[in-house]
Copies of this chain bind each other. A is one copy, B any other.
């Protein structure tokens, strides 16, 4: 280090999206390296509505590696953090910041400590893949800070070691995580199948479902499925490889009818292997089941499916509508069955609120005036489930990681490297 002063702080801020799998990842063949038992495919969600922002900083004044998540300091001792830090440091290159008069050589990185601040623009506990966006952002930001030459795909193999699905957040659009064959995991990485402009009709509505149950973590859940389910191996070896090929073709052709059928079937099969685990794992609850029934009934009443549903390791529904028109009809149905429990519609439908406007929903009276969906043919007045959904997020497929060059967006103070 040949530097004019020892008080400098060098920072990089990045923003990374979350993603939702349409062909699911469930089960590791290597717990430490996080190598999966099958390929998976995801859609990246628009970071305007769901993303992680991370600032990473380096300074000779830092005494140790430290991290703050949503303003609260957390420990970096977990293996998943240590793996990512070690892998990224091992690829660090010379960095020079002439303006600040800072020069860091490849060798210096091993001696310098890091400060990391990360912030999710959505509730961490809501089961919305915050760890995927988080580890992708950590690795991406550190890669930029340390002038790492590896491309996104190679970075994804590092992010994978933090959280498996994080590898799929290094790209926008549709992304495939190739399981790979190597024991060291070097070929278990993400590739982009299509960017976010390829199929930009799609609209995504997430129903954040209220839950009273304590959920099984996906890490321990997966382990128990691998150890006890007699159906998982059949899924991983015989079912998923065919589905991956089908889904790649579906995405290429923007074939929504097939996309809907396969996405729903694969979500259900993932939850089926969870149920086939001992003790059984239930991520979906009665509200999740009701949302599925509403969508299935509607899809079957139309010539072609209008919406696909998929559920991760929790009760929240991710609903993918074929276009804005279908999304407006979907929002009408969802609000009909799940009206808000307070008068605050503005915090009940968040994200891209224009979808609700398209559906003619501008206030509570519009929700109350919604007629039952036409597919309910029996004249039994349908039950409503006020309070069973916490809120809806309207979004769409989105772009991959970006750097935020405006220092005002940094989460760390440029002077002392502490959270702002």
A residues whose Cβ falls under 8 Å from a Cβ of B: 212-213, 228, 230-231, 234-235, 238-239, 261, 264-265, 268-269, 271-273, 275-280, 282, 285-286, 289, 292-293, 296, 300, 383
Question: How far does the alpha carbon of A213 sit from the alpha carbon of B288 in the complex, in Å?
Answer: 13
B-chain residues with CB within 8 Å of residue A279 when the two chains form the complex: 264, 292-293, 296, 300
A231 to B278, CA, bound (A): 17
Distance of A385 from chain B, by nearest CB (Å):
10
Q: Contact at B212–A269, with CB atoms within 8 Å?
A: no
Chain B: which residue is nearest A274 at the CB level?
Answer: B272
Q: Which residue of A269, A276, A279, A293 has the most chain B CB atoms within 10 A of its CB atom?
A: A276
Known: A212-B383, A230-B239, A239-B230. A269 touches B264 (CB 8 A): no
- Which of B213, B273, B285, B289 has a CB less than 8 Å from the CB of A272? B273
- Complex Cα gap A212–B287 (Å): 12
Q: Give 12 A-B contacts (CB < 8 Å), ordered by A residue.
A: A212-B383, A234-B234, A265-B276, A265-B278, A268-B277, A269-B275, A271-B275, A272-B272, A272-B273, A275-B275, A279-B296, A280-B292
Picked from B212, B239, B275, B292, the residue with its CB within 8 Å of the CB of A268 is B275
The reply to whether A268 and B285 contact each other, CB–CB distance below 8 Å, is no
How far, in angstroms, from A332 to B351 measured CA to CA in the complex?
48
Known contacts being A231-B234, A383-B212, is A278 close to B268, with CB within 8 Å? Answer: yes
A269: min CB distance to chain B, Å: 5
Complex CA distance for A261 and B228, rounded to whole angstroms = 11
Q: Give Cα A386–Cα B293 distance, bound, in whole angstroms.
A: 26
With A212-B383, A235-B231, A289-B282 as known contacts, state yes or no: A268 contacts B276, CB within 8 Å: yes
Q: Which residues of B contact A272 (CB under 8 A)?
A: 231, 272-273, 275-276
Residues of B within 8 A of A292 (CB): 279-280, 282
Nearest B residue to A297 by beta-carbon distance?
Answer: B279
A280: chain B residues within 8 A (beta carbon): 264, 268, 292, 296
Contacts of A238 in B (CB 8 A): 230, 234
**Shortest beta-carbon distance from A297 to chain B in Å:** 9
Considering the chains assembled together, what is the distance between the CA atoms of A268 and B224 in angstroms? Answer: 14
Among residues of B, the one whose C-beta sits closest to the C-beta of A285 is B286
Determine the residue in chain B with the shortest Cβ distance to A261.
B278
Complex-state Cα separation, A275 to B293, whole angstroms: 12
Closest to A300 in B: B279
Q: Report B-chain residues with C-beta under 8 Å of the C-beta of A285.
A: 286, 289
A292–B216 Cα distance when bound, in Å, is: 14
Which of A213, A228, A230, A273 has the most C-beta atoms of chain B within 10 angstroms of its own C-beta? A230
